[in-house]
């Protein structure tokens, strides 16, 4: 997780997602990566409420 | 306001070696450190380094090494701080810093992370699915985030 420098988060209900900022802090800690979060009408899985993609940088 | 920097070669405080000093003269702040000081940005690594320094200090006392040895080692550890780049003291700037023009309170993410040339991994979007591929935490945003 410490290698992740950017996340893109897709949520179906941003208001509900925003109720849980502590979850991000739990996994990333204070050195959180840069982030973009967008609300969309639905994800590929109709039951899914959130999908997170990431870019990480590791030693070559 | 700009930071002033200078390199002082020779002995400082009785400890032989090369030292550099930098600070902000306008604020009356300055400090001195070893030329080859390691800047530590990671909290976990910082704790490990401090623990190592403590171990060396104990060894120095037990082994009757030169009393200056552990102090010289400790001088070579410095703490990275996010605002140092803004103040023009790049040696102490943390690799992950918050941009002065993009700062939002409360900041739950870093606005401008930087990375040296390295291998990049692009991780596909991750859904809350179990090993059978079935979505878990249906209707529960918190569970799906986890």
What is the C-alpha to C-alpha distance for residues B3 and B93, in angstroms, rounded to an integer? Answer: 13
Helix, coil or strand: residue B34? strand
What residues of chain A lie within 8 A of the CB of B125, using their CB?
Answer: 8, 10, 51-53
What is the C-alpha to C-alpha distance for residues B79 and B94, in angstroms, rounded to an integer? Answer: 9
Q: Which pLDDT value is given to residue B58?
A: 60
- Residue A42's pLDDT band (boundaries 50, 70, 90)? very high
- Which positions 19-58 of A are in contact with B (Cβ < 8 Å)? 19-21, 23-25, 29-35, 43-45, 47-58
Q: Is residue B105 part of a domain?
A: no
Q: Is residue B30 part of a domain?
A: yes
Give yes or no for residue A17 having a pLDDT over 60: yes
Q: Do B118 and A58 touch (CB under 8 A)?
A: yes
- Residue B31's pLDDT band (boundaries 50, 70, 90)? low
Give yes or no for residue B47 having a pLDDT over 90: no
ipTM score assigned to the predicted complex:
0.77
Q: Is residue B133 part of a domain?
A: no
Q: How many domains are contained in chain B?
A: 1
Q: Is residue B127 part of a domain?
A: no
Domains of chain A as residue ranges with CATH:
4-56 (3.30.1330.40)
What residues of chain B lie within 8 A of the CB of A20, using their CB?
Answer: 141-142, 145
What residues of chain A lie within 8 A of the CB of B126, using their CB?
Answer: 51-54
pLDDT digits (tens, 9 = 90+) for B73-121: 444 555 555 455 555 555 555 544 433 444 444 556 666 666 767 788 8
Q: Do B125 and A51 touch (CB under 8 A)?
A: yes
**Average pLDDT taken over every residue of chain B:** 58
Most confidently predicted of A11-20, A51-60, B32-41, B75-84: A11-20
Q: Is residue B129 part of a domain?
A: no
pTM more than 0.90: no
Q: Do B144 and A13 touch (CB under 8 A)?
A: no
What range defines the domain where residue B35 resides?
A: 4-99
B3-B7-B10-B13 Cα dihedral, nearest 10 degrees:
10
Q: Is A12 left (phi over 0), alpha (psi -120 to 50) or beta?
A: alpha
Q: Tell me the mean pLDDT in the region B40-57.
A: 62
Higher pLDDT, residue B43 or B9: B43
Q: Is residue B58 part of a domain?
A: yes
> CB count, 10 Å around CB of B65?
12
Q: How far is A45 from chain B (nearest CA, A)?
A: 7
């Amino acid at each position: 997780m410490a290698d992740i420098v950017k996340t893109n988060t897709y949520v179906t209900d941003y208001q509900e997602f925003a109720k849980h900022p502590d979850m991000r802090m739990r996994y990333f800690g204070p050195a959180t990566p840069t982030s973009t979060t967008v609300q969309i009408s639905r994800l590929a899985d109709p039951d899914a409420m959130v999908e997170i993609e990431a870019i990480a940088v590791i030693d070559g | 306001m700009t930071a002033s920097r200078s390199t002082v070669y020779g002995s400082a405080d009785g400890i032989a070696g090369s030292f550099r000093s930098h600070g902000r003269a306008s604020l009356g702040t300055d400090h001195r450190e070893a030329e080859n000081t390691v800047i530590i940005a990671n909290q976990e690594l910082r704790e490990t380094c401090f623990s190592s320094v403590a171990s060396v200090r104990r060894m120095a006392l037990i082994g009757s090494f030169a009393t200056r040895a552990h102090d010289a080692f400790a001088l070579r550890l410095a703490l990275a701080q996010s605002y140092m780049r803004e103040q023009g003291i790049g040696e102490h700037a943390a690799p992950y810093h918050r941009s002065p023009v993009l700062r939002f309170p409360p900041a739950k993410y870093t606005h401008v992370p930087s990375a040296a040339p390295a291998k990049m991994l692009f991780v596909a979007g991750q859904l809350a699915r179990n090993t059978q591929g079935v979505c878990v935490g249906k209707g529960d945003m918190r569970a799906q985030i986890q």
